[in-house]
Amino acid sequence: MSTRRVITTTCPAKLNLVLAVDPPRDDGMHPIASWMVTVDFVDDLEVTQLEPDRFSRYAILWHEDARRTSDIDWPITSDLAVRAHQAIEAHVGHTLPVQMKLQKRIPVGGGLGGGSSNAAAMLRSVNELYELALDDSTLESIAMTLGSDVPFLVRGGSAIVEGVGDTMTRHDAVPVFHAVLVLPELTCPTGAVYAAFDQDLPPTSRSGEVRGLDGTIPAAEALFNDLAAPAMRVVPELAHQRERVAVLAEGPVHVSGSGSTLFVPCSDALHAGHLATALQDQLELPAVPVAARGLESPILEEIQ
DSSP code per residue over 26-59: TTS---EEEEEEEEEEEEEEEEEE--TTSPPEEE
**Residue among 14, 22, 43, 79 flagged as catalytic:** 14
Instruction: Assess whether pLDDT exceeds 60 at residue 62.
Output: yes
DSSP-derived letter for residue 298 is P
Q: What does the pLDDT look like over 182-201, one tens digit per residue?
A: 999 998 988 999 999 999 99
Q: What is the pTM of this model?
A: 0.95
**Residue among 43, 79, 149, 226 flagged as catalytic:** 149
Number of H helices, E strands in the chain: 9, 11
Q: What is the pLDDT of residue 69?
A: 87
Q: What is the pLDDT of residue 206?
A: 93
Q: What is the pLDDT of residue 68?
A: 87
Give the percent of the chain with pLDDT over 70: 99
Q: What is the pLDDT of residue 2?
A: 64
| pLDDT top residue among 275 and 70 | 275
Q: What is the pLDDT of residue 74?
A: 85
Instruction: Assess whether pLDDT exceeds 70 at residue 179.
Output: yes
**Which burial class, exposed, middle or buried, applies to 236 when counting CB atoms under 10 A from its CB (0-12, 13-18, 19+)?**
exposed
Instruction: Assess whether pLDDT exceeds 60 at residue 1.
Output: no
Instruction: Assess whether pLDDT exceeds 90 at residue 215.
Output: no
Instruction: Assess whether pLDDT exceeds 90 at residue 57.
Output: yes
Identity of the amino acid at 149? D
166 is catalytic: no
Q: What are phi and psi of 172, to 5 degrees?
A: -65, -30
Q: What is the pLDDT of residue 253?
A: 97
| pLDDT top residue among 2 and 84 | 84
Q: Which residues contact 4 (CB under 8 A, 6 or more apart)?
A: 48, 49, 302, 303, 304
40 is catalytic: no
Strands, E assignment, 30-157? 32-49, 57-62, 98-104
Segment among 147-161, 198-212, 277-291 with least mean pLDDT: 198-212
